[in-house]
């Protein structure tokens, strides 16, 4: 069960944009992050939730998609995320956020997968511009943006070959292939 969920929880970048996500769903996902581990239990992360098309369009402009796919500028209109969760670090609580945001993001994305949704962590964000565009107070640092929606693309896991190339690729049918290292190559003792 757990492995099925992890396998299904791929990074999705093309969505059925017309399938809306309710604010309540986003709140339930953030509740999973709230219940997750936090260094020193400081819980310095805060969240902004978006599921209206206008704000979504504004956020989209500030994100970079799939760096390895040089000929793909990101999802086109109609295949864009229907919601976003922005993970912020509250500098009034802590100046460093360790790996709290990775844990929070994974909890949220696993929860989304469990609900038949999917998404992608986006760290390539024009942080200053997005912060300004959304009027985010200076005490909050944008750490990660989670793009969410009903996945429209097929993602297949491949094995990293002898060349060690880890770059993902799209095939001619638009299937997204993601190479993963083999278990015996990552356990070193």
Ligand X SMILES: Cc1cc2nc3c(=O)[nH]c(=O)nc-3n(C[C@H](O)[C@H](O)[C@H](O)COP(=O)(O)O)c2cc1C
Contacts with ligand X by CB under 6 A lie at 10-11, 13, 64-66, 120-124, 155, 168, 178
User: Minimal distance in Å, beta carbon 6 to ligand X?
Assistant: 9
Instruction: Find out whether 176 and 115 touch, Cβ atoms under 8 Å.
Output: no
User: Minimal distance in Å, beta carbon 21 to ligand X?
Assistant: 19
User: Minimal distance in Å, beta carbon 50 to ligand X?
Assistant: 17
Comparison of 73 and 78: residue with beta carbon closer to ligand X: 73
Comparison of 138 and 148: residue with beta carbon closer to ligand X: 148
User: Minimal distance in Å, beta carbon 24 to ligand X?
Assistant: 26
Question: Whole-angstrom Cα distance, residue 11 to residue 66?
Answer: 10
User: Minimal distance in Å, beta carbon 42 to ligand X?
Assistant: 20
Question: Whole-angstrom Cα distance, residue 131 to residue 127?
Answer: 6
Listed in order, strand segments (DSSP E) in the chain are: 45-50, 83-90, 118-122, 140-149, 155-159, 169-170, 176-180
Which H/E stretch holds residue 29? Answer: helix 23-34
Helix axes 127-134, 53-60, angle to 10 degrees: 160
Angle (CA) 167-170-176 rounded to 5° is 85
Comparison of 137 and 157: residue with beta carbon closer to ligand X: 157
Comparison of 22 and 165: residue with beta carbon closer to ligand X: 165
Tell me the three state secondary structure of residue 39.
helix
Comparison of 44 and 118: residue with beta carbon closer to ligand X: 118
């Amino acid at each position: 069960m757990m492995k099925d969920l992890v396998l299904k929880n791929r990074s999705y970048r093309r969505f059925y944009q017309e399938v809306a996500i309710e604010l309540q769903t986003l709140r339930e996902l953030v509740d999973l992050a709230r219940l997750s581990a936090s260094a020193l239990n400081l819980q310095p992360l805060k969240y902004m939730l978006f599921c209206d098309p206008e704000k979504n369009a504004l956020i989209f402009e500030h994100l970079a998609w799939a760096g390895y796919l040089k000929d793909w500028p990101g999802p086109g209109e109609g295949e864009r995320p229907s919601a976003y969760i922005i993970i912020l670090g509250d500098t009034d609580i802590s100046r460093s956020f360790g790996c709290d945001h990775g844990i929070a993001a994974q909890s949220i994305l696993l929860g989304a997968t469990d609900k038949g949704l999917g998404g992608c962590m986006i760290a390539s964000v024009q942080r200053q511009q997005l912060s300004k565009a959304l009027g985010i107070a200076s005490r909050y640092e944008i750490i990660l943006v989670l793009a969410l929606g009903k996945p429209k693309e097929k993602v297949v896991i491949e094995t990293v070959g002898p060349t060690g190339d880890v770059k993902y690729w799209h095939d001619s049918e638009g299937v997204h292939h993601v190479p993963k290292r083999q278990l015996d190559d990552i356990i070193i003792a």
